[in-house]
A and B are shown apart, each in its own frame.
Chain A
Amino acid sequence: MAQTGTTGDKVFRTVLFITAAIIVVIMAAMIFMMVWNSLPTIKTFGLNFLIGREWKPAESVFGALPFIYGTIVSSVIALIISVPLSLGIAIFLVEQAPKKIATPIAFMVELLAAIPSVVYGLWGIFVLAPFVRDYLGVFLEKYLGWLPLFQGRLTGIGMLTGGIILALMITPIITAVVRDILEVVPTQQREAALALGATKWETTQIVLGNAASGIAGAVILGLGRALGETMAVTMVIGNSPQISASLFEPAYTIASVLAANFAEATDELYLSALIEIGLVLFLVTFVVNAFAKLLVSRVGKRMHA
């Protein structure tokens, strides 16, 4: 944009520059605060913090593995449920449904994203957890109970319920991004395939193939969101720092332990341990989201190349 060089312009640009710089300052301050406050734990435990399985504040023993495990497993369960679901919805909306139906349905799926986390948690405690306990869990135990995944005490509160609620929360996000990506695929591609005699479904498969990296990006974006989800998970996951093969057992995620225990960490090492876990979560979501963005933006570039 050409500069016209008047003082008005200089002032204007400076003011805007400051507002933009505030974002940089916030990020820098946040990273600094977390690293600084993590130092005591880093000094005491080093890398063993990340693989330590014991979390016992009374003895000042802090190992973050149960939370890392809980965060990853609940997110993986969420992806396993959500990805096929989101793809199905997105394909339906872009490739198959007539505009008249697609628009309102798309809107309603987006509304799922607008529901606050604590509301999902409320619904999770009083509707989903009893459902898992009385129906879904019983079903899984009956038919798949030979897997260690579905053995053990079924209370409705645990890793499985946490994963299901996350799945519901990230579906609208993945759906929205996949929709955008599929819509970016030029119509000529579809027309070319059809002209060559492909069926509708085969055409869709070709489109999906082209958008593959973008879809991967959407999935990873959903993952990033699942990793950081706090309230809904805290309310249904059982808050138990254990590593168990059974999905029925309670678990703990990084975000949940922060929400539950931050206010009461009295000694410096405990507080520092919690902040270091927060730092781990921050770094992981950072990498995941950056990677996702990269994949998604690549698709856009390829399509319009």
Chain B
Amino acid sequence: MTTITAACAVFAIAVLLIILSYIAVRGLSSISLQFLIDTPKPVGEGGGIGNAILGSVMMTLLACVIGLPIGIGAGVYLAEFGENLFGKTVRFLADTLIGVPSIIIGIFIYTLIVLPMGRQSGLAGGLALAIIMIPIVARTTEEMIRLVPNSMREGALALGAPQWRVTWNIVLPAASTGIATGAMLAIARISGETAPLLFTALNSRFYNYFYDQPMASLTVQIFNYATGPFDVEHKMAWAATLILITLILAINILVRFLTRKRF
């Protein structure tokens, strides 16, 4: 029996290694400094993913600026005050929101932001990513704060500190590593999202430094290059994937490192 289960594990690892090696082998040949800085050019004239990298960074940043405060705040609320009906509702809805397919969130933002604004934009893309991020961060923050032992809270309260100080100065710092790792995993997750960006941020051939224009992103660019016919574009898709995967794996490994058990 152990052989069968071990074989299952080996199979899964093999799939991971196969995928990663394809990305490494096919992607490495196309990576150059030029590739990382250039914007897309007509087929055959080279080009690169510089603006896509910047676009992804900008939209992820916007998502964090909006999503992290709201997510962490909601998480703290759920942990500290969330045993009432409202808290239960929020928890339930957050779990539901996590399960909503991201394309639907893209459609939601399209109707809410893109249409009134008159165009696709990095803002809309970032907002869509923020909506994906909020419930994830909220739930992981809640879990982390619950782990903080009550003795810490009681000690501070016994010294006369007001409730909010206890949370702000004692509980949050104690849970900070956990909250940070939760945030990092959420960032890794939204960096890989494509569907919500398709009609909110669209794509662009230029470097965009402002949020109110269509914005390129690594993921959408990979999708476009992969589904097109041109071999040069396929190579660029693999190279862009290499960049994306390196980033995501780095975050995951860092999180694993930070949460390793010290005993």
A interface with B by C-beta (< 8 Å): 1-4, 6, 8-9, 11-13, 15-24, 26-27, 29-30, 33-34, 37, 84-89, 91-93, 96-97, 105, 107-112, 114-123, 125-127, 168, 171-172, 175, 201, 204, 224-225, 227-231, 235, 255, 258-259, 262-263, 275, 278, 281-282, 285-286, 288-290, 293
Contacts and interface: CB of A to CB of B under 8 A. Distances in A.
Given A20-B78, A22-B70, A119-B23, A224 B99 contact: yes
B226 A122 contact: yes
A294 B144 CA distance: 22
Contact of A289 (B99, B191, B222): B99
Contacts of B252: 110-111, 114
A228 B99 contact: yes
Contacts of B71: 19
7 contacts: A8-B164, A16-B76, A92-B6, A121-B223, A123-B22, A259-B103, A281-B101
A85 B194 contact: no
Contacts of A293: 95
Given A114-B248, A119-B241, A285-B101, A92 B9 contact: yes
Contacts of A15: 73
B134 interface: yes
B163 interface: yes
Given A119-B23, A230-B103, A111 B195 contact: no
A49 B241 CA distance: 39
A130 B70 CA distance: 45
B97 A27 contact: yes
A44 to B, nearest CB: 20
Nearest to B72: A19
Interface stretch (B38-46, B57-65, B81-89, B206-214): B81-89
B232 interface: no
Contact of B15 (A84, A112, A117): A112
Interface in B176-218: 188-189, 191-195, 198-199
Interface stretch (B28-36, B47-55, B105-113): B105-113
A115 B245 contact: yes
Contact of A118 (B90, B94, B99, B192): B192
Contacts of B76: 16
A252 B77 CA distance: 41
Contacts of B159: none
Contacts of A229: 101
Interface of A is mostly: helix
Given A8-B162, A8-B165, A117-B194, A19 B13 contact: no
A75 to B, nearest CB: 12
A1 B80 contact: yes
A122 B241 contact: yes
Binding site secondary structure of chain B: helix
B70 A19 contact: yes
B99 A88 contact: no
Contacts of A8: 162-165
Contacts of B6: 92, 96-97
A123 B252 CA distance: 21
A22 B134 contact: yes
Given A12-B167, A112-B12, A281-B104, A286 B222 contact: no
Between A29, A125, A231, A293, the greatest number of chain B beta carbons within 10 A of the residue's beta carbon is seen for A231
Contact of A116 (B18, B81, B194): B194
B124 interface: no
A118 B110 CA distance: 21
A158 to B, nearest CB: 16
Given A119-B245, A123-B22, A125-B226, A30 B163 contact: no
Interface in B1-21: 1-2, 4-9, 11-13, 15-16, 18-19
A5 B56 CA distance: 44
Given A85-B8, A168-B15, A259 B89 contact: no
Nearest to A32: B108
Contacts of A96: 2, 5-6
B81 A30 contact: no
B73 A20 contact: yes
Given A20-B138, A258-B103, 4 more contacts: A19-B70, A33-B111, A109-B16, A282-B100
Contacts of A224: 99
A259 B73 CA distance: 32
Given A12-B164, A91-B5, A115-B245, A33 B108 contact: yes
Nearest to B221: A118
A115 B19 contact: yes
